[in-house]
Amino acid sequence: MDTQKIILCRCENLTLAELHQILESGVDSMQEIKKLSRCTMGPCQGKTCKEMISKEIAAYLNISVEELDIPISRIPIKPITVGQIAGGGRHD
């Protein structure tokens, strides 16, 4: 299996091989992995990747997913434009 070709986070282009490199460096906190790789910070806000990434981390560390510090999703859950934040856009 070529872990370099397995994409875990499509928004930030994080591969399984890159995740393993981060874990091998001693980083085992999902929050720290998020800071290093930007995984779960793209347009989907982790909706398509957070569960898969957390399962891979847990499997690599040989622990249960419940033992991980999985970051919570914070608003805005739906992507918005800078204009909307500044008050110049529609708020559908």
Mean pLDDT of 28-42: 90
pLDDT value of position 13: 93
Q: How confident is the model at residue 23 (pLDDT cuts 50, 70, 90)?
A: very high
**In residues, how long is the chain?**
92
Nearby residues of 80 by Cβ (< 8 Å), 6 or more positions away: 89
pLDDT value of position 3: 78
Q: Is the pTM of this model over 0.85?
A: no
Q: Can you name the CATH fold of 7-86?
A: Arc Repressor Mutant, subunit A (1.10.10)
SS3 39: coil
Q: How confident is the model at residue 47 (pLDDT cuts 50, 70, 90)?
A: confident
Name the residue ranges covered by the structural domains of the chain. 7-86
